[in-house]
Amino acid sequence: MMKLRLFTPGPTMVSPEALLEMAYPLDHHRTPGFKEMFKESTELLSYVFQTKALPLVLTGSGTAAMEGAIVGCCKPDTKTLVCHSGKFGERWVKILKRFKLPHVELTREYGHGIKAEAVADMFKKNPDIKAVIFVHSETSTCALSDAQGIAKIAREKGALTIVDGITSIGTLPFKMDEWGIDVAVTGSQKALMLPPGLGFAAVSDRAWEVIESHEAPCFYNDFKAYRKSQKEGDVPWTPNNQLVKGLRHTLRQIKAETMEAIWARSALMAKGTRAACKALGLSIYAADPVDSVTGINVPAGVADDAWRKTMRSKYGIHVASGQGELKGKMIRVNHMGYVDAVDTVGLIAAMEWTLAEQGYKFEMGAGTAAFIRVVSEGK
Protein backbone atom coordinates (compact mmCIF):
# COMPACT_ATOMS: atom_id res chain seq x y z
CA MET A 1 0.00 0.00 0.00
CA MET A 2 1.32 3.42 -0.99
CA LYS A 3 -0.74 6.53 -0.30
CA LEU A 4 0.93 9.48 -1.97
CA ARG A 5 0.58 12.93 -0.38
CA LEU A 6 2.09 15.70 -2.47
CA PHE A 7 3.47 18.26 -0.02
CA THR A 8 5.33 20.07 -2.79
CA PRO A 9 4.60 23.80 -3.17
CA GLY A 10 3.06 23.07 -6.56
CA PRO A 11 1.74 20.95 -8.01
CA THR A 12 -0.28 20.61 -4.83
CA MET A 13 -2.79 17.86 -4.03
CA VAL A 14 -5.84 17.54 -6.28
CA SER A 15 -8.98 16.13 -4.69
CA PRO A 16 -10.55 12.91 -6.03
CA GLU A 17 -13.75 14.91 -6.59
CA ALA A 18 -11.93 17.40 -8.81
CA LEU A 19 -10.19 14.58 -10.72
CA LEU A 20 -13.53 12.88 -11.33
CA GLU A 21 -15.12 16.17 -12.38
CA MET A 22 -12.41 16.39 -15.04
CA ALA A 23 -13.06 12.76 -16.05
CA TYR A 24 -16.62 13.67 -17.04
CA PRO A 25 -17.21 13.71 -20.82
CA LEU A 26 -15.93 16.99 -22.24
CA ASP A 27 -17.97 19.40 -24.29
CA HIS A 28 -16.78 21.83 -26.96
CA HIS A 29 -15.69 25.28 -25.74
CA ARG A 30 -17.92 27.14 -28.17
CA THR A 31 -21.20 26.08 -26.59
CA PRO A 32 -23.60 27.96 -24.29
CA GLY A 33 -22.82 25.39 -21.58
CA PHE A 34 -19.07 26.06 -21.69
CA LYS A 35 -19.56 29.82 -21.86
CA GLU A 36 -21.73 29.69 -18.76
CA MET A 37 -19.14 27.56 -16.95
CA PHE A 38 -16.37 29.91 -18.08
CA LYS A 39 -18.32 33.00 -16.95
CA GLU A 40 -19.02 31.50 -13.54
CA SER A 41 -15.35 30.53 -13.19
CA THR A 42 -14.06 34.02 -13.99
CA GLU A 43 -16.58 35.55 -11.57
CA LEU A 44 -15.45 33.18 -8.84
CA LEU A 45 -11.82 33.93 -9.72
CA SER A 46 -12.47 37.63 -9.16
CA TYR A 47 -13.59 36.69 -5.64
CA VAL A 48 -10.32 34.84 -5.07
CA PHE A 49 -8.31 37.82 -6.37
CA GLN A 50 -10.61 40.19 -4.44
CA THR A 51 -11.18 42.38 -7.44
CA LYS A 52 -14.04 43.54 -9.62
CA ALA A 53 -11.98 42.70 -12.74
CA LEU A 54 -12.73 39.38 -14.45
CA PRO A 55 -9.40 37.52 -14.56
CA LEU A 56 -8.02 36.25 -17.85
CA VAL A 57 -7.63 32.48 -18.22
CA LEU A 58 -4.53 31.49 -20.20
CA THR A 59 -3.70 28.02 -21.45
CA GLY A 60 -0.18 27.90 -20.05
CA SER A 61 1.64 28.09 -16.74
CA GLY A 62 2.01 31.04 -14.36
CA THR A 63 5.12 31.99 -16.33
CA ALA A 64 2.93 32.50 -19.42
CA ALA A 65 0.74 34.89 -17.44
CA MET A 66 3.79 36.77 -16.13
CA GLU A 67 5.17 37.10 -19.68
CA GLY A 68 1.82 38.60 -20.72
CA ALA A 69 1.81 40.99 -17.76
CA ILE A 70 5.36 42.18 -18.39
CA VAL A 71 5.13 42.69 -22.15
CA GLY A 72 1.80 44.47 -21.68
CA CYS A 73 2.71 46.80 -18.82
CA CYS A 74 6.43 47.41 -19.34
CA LYS A 75 7.17 49.38 -22.47
CA PRO A 76 10.46 49.89 -24.28
CA ASP A 77 10.34 53.61 -23.47
CA THR A 78 9.51 53.32 -19.76
CA LYS A 79 11.50 52.17 -16.76
CA THR A 80 10.44 49.17 -14.65
CA LEU A 81 11.55 48.32 -11.14
CA VAL A 82 11.92 44.58 -10.59
CA CYS A 83 12.39 43.44 -6.99
CA HIS A 84 13.86 40.01 -6.33
CA SER A 85 15.41 37.84 -3.69
CA GLY A 86 14.88 34.37 -5.12
CA LYS A 87 14.59 32.17 -8.21
CA PHE A 88 11.14 33.36 -9.27
CA GLY A 89 11.92 37.06 -8.98
CA GLU A 90 15.05 36.33 -11.04
CA ARG A 91 12.87 34.75 -13.73
CA TRP A 92 11.00 38.03 -14.19
CA VAL A 93 14.33 39.81 -14.67
CA LYS A 94 15.07 37.31 -17.43
CA ILE A 95 11.79 38.15 -19.16
CA LEU A 96 12.53 41.89 -18.99
CA LYS A 97 15.99 41.23 -20.44
CA ARG A 98 14.65 38.94 -23.16
CA PHE A 99 12.27 41.65 -24.36
CA LYS A 100 14.98 44.31 -23.91
CA LEU A 101 12.78 46.30 -21.55
CA PRO A 102 14.57 49.01 -19.50
CA HIS A 103 14.62 48.17 -15.82
CA VAL A 104 16.33 48.71 -12.49
CA GLU A 105 16.68 46.00 -9.88
CA LEU A 106 16.09 45.93 -6.15
CA THR A 107 17.55 42.82 -4.55
CA ARG A 108 17.72 41.44 -1.07
CA GLU A 109 19.46 38.49 0.45
CA TYR A 110 17.67 35.18 -0.13
CA GLY A 111 15.10 34.45 2.55
CA HIS A 112 14.18 38.10 3.00
CA GLY A 113 11.05 39.72 1.64
CA ILE A 114 10.90 43.02 -0.22
CA LYS A 115 9.88 45.92 2.03
CA ALA A 116 7.92 49.00 1.03
CA GLU A 117 10.61 51.36 2.32
CA ALA A 118 13.22 49.88 0.01
CA VAL A 119 10.85 50.36 -2.92
CA ALA A 120 10.26 53.97 -1.83
CA ASP A 121 14.05 54.49 -1.86
CA MET A 122 14.23 53.17 -5.42
CA PHE A 123 11.60 55.72 -6.48
CA LYS A 124 13.71 58.50 -4.92
CA LYS A 125 16.65 57.47 -7.08
CA ASN A 126 14.48 56.67 -10.11
CA PRO A 127 11.41 58.92 -10.14
CA ASP A 128 10.71 57.78 -13.72
CA ILE A 129 9.78 54.20 -12.70
CA LYS A 130 6.45 53.35 -14.34
CA ALA A 131 5.92 49.79 -13.13
CA VAL A 132 6.99 47.74 -10.11
CA ILE A 133 7.28 43.95 -10.30
CA PHE A 134 7.68 41.74 -7.28
CA VAL A 135 6.90 38.25 -5.99
CA HIS A 136 4.41 38.23 -3.13
CA SER A 137 5.41 34.77 -1.91
CA GLU A 138 8.86 33.74 -3.17
CA THR A 139 8.40 29.97 -3.44
CA SER A 140 12.12 29.24 -3.75
CA THR A 141 12.99 30.76 -0.37
CA CYS A 142 9.54 30.62 1.28
CA ALA A 143 9.72 34.34 2.08
CA LEU A 144 6.97 36.97 2.11
CA SER A 145 7.11 40.45 0.59
CA ASP A 146 4.95 43.38 1.67
CA ALA A 147 2.43 43.44 -1.19
CA GLN A 148 0.12 46.00 0.36
CA GLY A 149 2.92 48.39 1.30
CA ILE A 150 4.68 48.14 -2.07
CA ALA A 151 1.43 48.66 -3.99
CA LYS A 152 0.69 51.77 -1.88
CA ILE A 153 4.07 53.35 -2.71
CA ALA A 154 3.73 52.51 -6.40
CA ARG A 155 0.23 53.95 -6.55
CA GLU A 156 1.40 57.18 -4.88
CA LYS A 157 4.16 57.48 -7.44
CA GLY A 158 1.81 56.81 -10.35
CA ALA A 159 3.44 53.48 -11.26
CA LEU A 160 1.72 50.17 -11.97
CA THR A 161 2.11 47.26 -9.55
CA ILE A 162 2.58 43.79 -11.07
CA VAL A 163 2.49 40.95 -8.57
CA ASP A 164 3.56 37.35 -9.00
CA GLY A 165 0.90 35.89 -6.71
CA ILE A 166 1.46 32.32 -7.87
CA THR A 167 1.91 30.94 -4.36
CA SER A 168 -0.02 33.63 -2.54
CA ILE A 169 -3.38 34.26 -4.24
CA GLY A 170 -5.97 31.92 -2.76
CA THR A 171 -3.79 31.21 0.30
CA LEU A 172 -2.51 34.46 1.82
CA PRO A 173 -4.65 37.53 2.45
CA PHE A 174 -4.61 39.25 -0.93
CA LYS A 175 -6.87 42.20 -1.75
CA MET A 176 -6.17 43.34 -5.27
CA ASP A 177 -8.56 46.29 -5.47
CA GLU A 178 -8.26 47.46 -1.87
CA TRP A 179 -4.48 47.38 -2.03
CA GLY A 180 -4.37 49.04 -5.46
CA ILE A 181 -2.62 46.23 -7.31
CA ASP A 182 -2.71 46.53 -11.10
CA VAL A 183 -1.80 43.08 -12.39
CA ALA A 184 -1.98 39.95 -10.27
CA VAL A 185 -0.97 36.57 -11.62
CA THR A 186 -1.41 33.00 -10.46
CA GLY A 187 -1.56 29.43 -11.78
CA SER A 188 -3.89 26.44 -11.48
CA GLN A 189 -1.57 24.07 -9.57
CA LYS A 190 -1.26 25.88 -6.23
CA ALA A 191 -4.09 27.25 -4.06
CA LEU A 192 -6.62 26.55 -6.83
CA MET A 193 -6.16 22.80 -6.26
CA LEU A 194 -5.85 21.70 -9.90
CA PRO A 195 -3.17 20.16 -12.09
CA PRO A 196 -0.84 22.62 -13.85
CA GLY A 197 -1.89 24.03 -17.21
CA LEU A 198 -3.81 27.27 -16.67
CA GLY A 199 -2.41 30.70 -15.86
CA PHE A 200 -4.59 33.53 -14.54
CA ALA A 201 -4.15 37.29 -14.60
CA ALA A 202 -6.40 40.01 -13.21
CA VAL A 203 -5.80 43.46 -14.69
CA SER A 204 -6.87 46.88 -13.39
CA ASP A 205 -8.32 49.64 -15.59
CA ARG A 206 -5.08 51.61 -15.16
CA ALA A 207 -3.06 48.65 -16.40
CA TRP A 208 -5.40 48.13 -19.36
CA GLU A 209 -4.73 51.76 -20.38
CA VAL A 210 -1.03 50.97 -20.71
CA ILE A 211 -1.60 47.57 -22.32
CA GLU A 212 -3.99 49.05 -24.89
CA SER A 213 -1.61 51.91 -25.69
CA HIS A 214 0.88 49.75 -27.60
CA GLU A 215 1.33 46.46 -29.40
CA ALA A 216 2.71 43.67 -27.23
CA PRO A 217 6.03 42.31 -28.55
CA CYS A 218 4.74 38.74 -28.39
CA PHE A 219 1.71 36.89 -29.71
CA TYR A 220 0.59 33.87 -27.69
CA ASN A 221 0.49 35.57 -24.28
CA ASP A 222 -0.91 38.88 -25.53
CA PHE A 223 -3.46 40.03 -22.93
CA LYS A 224 -5.28 42.16 -25.53
CA ALA A 225 -6.19 39.06 -27.53
CA TYR A 226 -7.46 37.38 -24.36
CA ARG A 227 -9.47 40.45 -23.33
CA LYS A 228 -11.11 40.76 -26.74
CA SER A 229 -12.21 37.11 -26.77
CA GLN A 230 -13.18 36.96 -23.13
CA LYS A 231 -15.68 39.81 -23.61
CA GLU A 232 -17.57 37.32 -25.77
CA GLY A 233 -17.15 34.48 -23.27
CA ASP A 234 -14.42 33.02 -25.43
CA VAL A 235 -10.64 32.63 -25.49
CA PRO A 236 -8.29 33.42 -28.39
CA TRP A 237 -6.64 29.99 -28.58
CA THR A 238 -8.32 26.64 -27.86
CA PRO A 239 -8.68 26.51 -24.06
CA ASN A 240 -8.04 23.53 -21.81
CA ASN A 241 -11.74 22.73 -21.28
CA GLN A 242 -10.84 19.87 -18.94
CA LEU A 243 -9.08 22.18 -16.49
CA VAL A 244 -11.81 24.82 -16.78
CA LYS A 245 -14.26 22.13 -15.72
CA GLY A 246 -12.13 21.33 -12.70
CA LEU A 247 -11.68 25.04 -12.02
CA ARG A 248 -15.37 25.71 -11.61
CA HIS A 249 -15.53 22.80 -9.17
CA THR A 250 -12.64 23.96 -6.97
CA LEU A 251 -13.69 27.62 -7.11
CA ARG A 252 -17.16 26.71 -5.88
CA GLN A 253 -15.53 24.92 -2.94
CA ILE A 254 -13.36 27.96 -2.24
CA LYS A 255 -16.38 30.29 -2.34
CA ALA A 256 -18.27 28.00 0.05
CA GLU A 257 -15.36 27.83 2.48
CA THR A 258 -14.74 31.63 2.09
CA MET A 259 -11.37 33.26 1.51
CA GLU A 260 -11.17 34.37 5.15
CA ALA A 261 -11.45 30.76 6.36
CA ILE A 262 -8.85 29.59 3.84
CA TRP A 263 -6.42 32.37 4.76
CA ALA A 264 -6.84 31.42 8.44
CA ARG A 265 -6.31 27.72 7.71
CA SER A 266 -3.08 28.25 5.72
CA ALA A 267 -1.77 30.60 8.42
CA LEU A 268 -2.54 28.05 11.11
CA MET A 269 -0.87 25.20 9.21
CA ALA A 270 2.23 27.34 8.71
CA LYS A 271 2.28 28.48 12.33
CA GLY A 272 1.87 24.92 13.55
CA THR A 273 4.63 23.68 11.23
CA ARG A 274 7.01 26.37 12.45
CA ALA A 275 6.18 25.50 16.08
CA ALA A 276 6.82 21.82 15.34
CA CYS A 277 10.18 22.67 13.78
CA LYS A 278 11.16 24.74 16.79
CA ALA A 279 10.23 21.89 19.14
CA LEU A 280 12.39 19.55 17.03
CA GLY A 281 15.33 21.94 17.05
CA LEU A 282 14.95 22.63 13.34
CA SER A 283 15.36 26.13 11.94
CA ILE A 284 13.32 27.93 9.30
CA TYR A 285 15.23 29.23 6.27
CA ALA A 286 13.37 32.47 5.68
CA ALA A 287 13.86 35.54 7.81
CA ASP A 288 10.40 36.65 6.62
CA PRO A 289 8.57 33.33 6.47
CA VAL A 290 5.45 33.07 4.33
CA ASP A 291 2.35 31.08 5.28
CA SER A 292 1.88 29.27 1.97
CA VAL A 293 5.04 27.16 2.08
CA THR A 294 7.60 26.56 4.82
CA GLY A 295 11.29 26.11 4.09
CA ILE A 296 13.05 24.07 6.76
CA ASN A 297 16.84 23.96 6.93
CA VAL A 298 18.28 20.47 6.67
CA PRO A 299 20.06 19.99 10.01
CA ALA A 300 23.75 19.15 10.21
CA GLY A 301 24.38 15.42 9.87
CA VAL A 302 21.18 14.73 7.97
CA ALA A 303 21.45 13.72 4.31
CA ASP A 304 18.81 15.79 2.52
CA ASP A 305 18.27 13.37 -0.33
CA ALA A 306 17.94 10.28 1.86
CA TRP A 307 15.68 12.17 4.26
CA ARG A 308 13.25 13.20 1.52
CA LYS A 309 13.38 9.82 -0.24
CA THR A 310 12.57 7.93 2.96
CA MET A 311 9.67 10.25 3.72
CA ARG A 312 8.24 9.38 0.33
CA SER A 313 9.02 5.69 0.17
CA LYS A 314 7.94 4.85 3.73
CA TYR A 315 5.16 7.36 4.35
CA GLY A 316 4.05 8.64 0.93
CA ILE A 317 4.99 12.19 1.94
CA HIS A 318 6.59 14.04 -0.97
CA VAL A 319 8.28 17.29 0.03
CA ALA A 320 10.43 19.48 -2.22
CA SER A 321 14.12 20.22 -1.84
CA GLY A 322 15.49 23.72 -2.31
CA GLN A 323 15.96 25.19 -5.79
CA GLY A 324 19.26 26.15 -7.43
CA GLU A 325 21.96 26.81 -4.86
CA LEU A 326 19.50 25.94 -2.08
CA LYS A 327 19.17 22.37 -3.34
CA GLY A 328 20.05 19.98 -0.55
CA LYS A 329 20.02 22.73 2.07
CA MET A 330 16.31 22.85 2.85
CA ILE A 331 13.06 21.01 2.45
CA ARG A 332 9.92 22.89 1.46
CA VAL A 333 6.47 21.83 2.62
CA ASN A 334 3.19 23.12 1.26
CA HIS A 335 0.24 24.72 3.05
CA MET A 336 -1.76 25.70 -0.07
CA GLY A 337 -5.00 24.25 -1.30
CA TYR A 338 -6.29 20.76 -0.57
CA VAL A 339 -4.27 20.14 2.60
CA ASP A 340 -5.58 20.22 6.14
CA ALA A 341 -4.47 19.73 9.73
CA VAL A 342 -4.75 15.93 9.58
CA ASP A 343 -2.51 15.79 6.49
CA THR A 344 -0.06 18.18 8.10
CA VAL A 345 0.21 16.37 11.43
CA GLY A 346 1.03 13.30 9.32
CA LEU A 347 3.78 15.25 7.60
CA ILE A 348 5.27 16.27 10.96
CA ALA A 349 5.09 12.67 12.18
CA ALA A 350 6.84 11.44 9.03
CA MET A 351 9.53 14.08 9.52
CA GLU A 352 10.09 12.78 13.05
CA TRP A 353 10.24 9.12 12.06
CA THR A 354 12.66 9.79 9.21
CA LEU A 355 14.84 12.23 11.18
CA ALA A 356 15.26 9.55 13.84
CA GLU A 357 16.43 7.12 11.16
CA GLN A 358 19.02 9.69 10.12
CA GLY A 359 20.41 9.72 13.65
CA TYR A 360 19.18 13.25 14.35
CA LYS A 361 18.68 13.80 18.09
CA PHE A 362 15.37 15.14 19.35
CA GLU A 363 12.50 14.20 21.65
CA MET A 364 10.25 11.88 19.64
CA GLY A 365 6.72 13.30 19.51
CA ALA A 366 7.72 16.86 20.37
CA GLY A 367 6.99 18.11 16.84
CA THR A 368 3.54 16.62 16.53
CA ALA A 369 2.68 17.74 20.06
CA ALA A 370 3.68 21.33 19.26
CA PHE A 371 1.69 21.25 16.02
CA ILE A 372 -1.36 19.82 17.75
CA ARG A 373 -1.29 22.51 20.44
CA VAL A 374 -1.11 25.33 17.89
CA VAL A 375 -4.03 23.91 15.92
CA SER A 376 -6.02 23.32 19.10
CA GLU A 377 -5.51 26.90 20.27
CA GLY A 378 -6.09 28.33 16.81
CA LYS A 379 -9.54 26.85 16.46
Residues that bind a second copy (CB under 8 A): 4, 6, 8, 10-11, 14, 16, 19-20, 22-29, 31, 59-64, 67, 94-95, 98-99, 187, 189, 195-197, 215-222, 237-243, 318, 320
CA distance 244 to 29: 10
- Could you tell me which of 246, 200, 237, 233 has the C-alpha nearest to residue 33? 233
Q: How far is the CB of 122 from a second copy (least distance, A)?
A: 24
Q: How far is the CB of 116 from a second copy (least distance, A)?
A: 28
Nearer to a second copy among residue 320 and residue 349 (C-beta): 320
Nearer to a second copy among residue 259 and residue 317 (C-beta): 317
Nearer to a second copy among residue 8 and residue 253 (C-beta): 8
Nearer to a second copy among residue 173 and residue 316 (C-beta): 316
Q: Which residues pair with 81 in a beta bridge?
A: 104, 132
Nearer to a second copy among residue 94 and residue 361 (C-beta): 94
Q: How far is the CB of 94 from a second copy (least distance, A)?
A: 7
- Note whether 153 and 131 are within 8 A (CB): no
Q: How far is the CB of 131 from a second copy (least distance, A)?
A: 17
Q: How far is the CB of 24 from a second copy (least distance, A)?
A: 8
Q: How far is the CB of 318 from a second copy (least distance, A)?
A: 6
Specify the DSSP class assigned to residue 52: S
Nearer to a second copy among residue 67 and residue 146 (C-beta): 67
CA distance 270 to 291: 5
